[in-house]
Structure 1
């Protein structure tokens, strides 16, 4: 992976884009927008498949289930919706958050949905039945991001309170609290090795952590790039990608912290969502104040 080129620019949403997700089989891209809709696209050719309508306010998050059968969305309307991808119909609406739904994650076995909210809570749900399993309330400010380890044992949450919490997903117990960011944590991601966590935020730093021992491994100062809005690992776990306020997407060697290359396709608009295809050959991105999705071929 040495560089990238835009192969498709997708323009169909009528308002800002907030989140992108790519299906486990790598064929479908989902986009969530302030226009209250979710759109599904064919990743290979950029063709729009359909539009999912049901939310009454901005859609902040979308995530595919591991079984490829369902899509889950979270909205400013405080609801979580589950969609059947075969029929494109809404299956369930989960009610429980008292403020915006900010982030979603699904356990590798597809049984547990985790949601976070502007209401400072994290909720665990039975994805199949919609039953709320429990509510975690240890953050003192809104929770911005949640992630689940590949083995399904660990849940991690980032918050505007500047902290990162590590939880046992099995019993919902708090394992540890990671501190070090001086401003709000905007994004977190767990590597495929299951122990490497990355976090970024408004303090213009990227921090790499070992969550087995709850210690920071490395801090990268990104002051010249502005706030770190989104982070994701390549499927092979060797490369970290980050989206920044200056409109760039940066690629880093995970082991050394060396910057490998950068992509710019959204002008100076801050990049707020990036996602790799499962084979690592493509990346999709979107930005604040932008209605365009860029699909990149990486090489």
Structure 2
């Protein structure tokens, strides 16, 4: 980044190239800024075409990215033993139905049905899918009504909190089998079994999963490739750039009447 800034700083209107220290400081401050910026860009896009960018409902998921360096086995991490200096001790383990166990970090995303990202956050991989929902919806509280997630978001405490405090319904595919006599649980179980709710859930996978694939393609993180940084601060800054990049790319593609997932025109602009 320092080398790029030294060669292109005039194109950004800078009087001189920023120092490496300045770039590092601003790079590490990106997560909070991008978290605020994503909903703002969505609102600007709604001014272009409200129907295409409306945020009445969205889809949420987490994808785990492999940490840079060696694997920190659980037996060692529990004892605080770091057998190799390459191990990223901020990373942790998570298991998915598709990839099995992975040691790394989780990128949490909310997107619209057309795969347009509107919220993001980064955590260590072991954090529960639902644990960052309150953070994710902070910039969407006044716009979104329903967020659809998979079984990993099945938390009565989180679901009830979002609904009662923000009026946002976190819809999951499973009914609750405990506390079934509570009025809220009765209402929720009946609601998610409605035909319209089940239809909405079927749109989740075709919406959110291709978005993760697009981010991995743009940042060369497909398959078992590792992240380029170690430590939660640097990894969070790097991964948060992913949904922001896709947002800007999709906005540009929409304006120029291209397929929203077209990466070629966007990449060509940087050559």
TM over 0.5: no
Give the structure with the larger helix fraction. Answer: 2
Bigger Rg, which one: 2
What is the TM-score normalised by the length of structure 1?
Answer: 0.26
What is the TM-score normalised by the length of structure 2?
Answer: 0.27
* Larger RCO of the pair (alpha carbons < 8 Å, separation 6+): 2
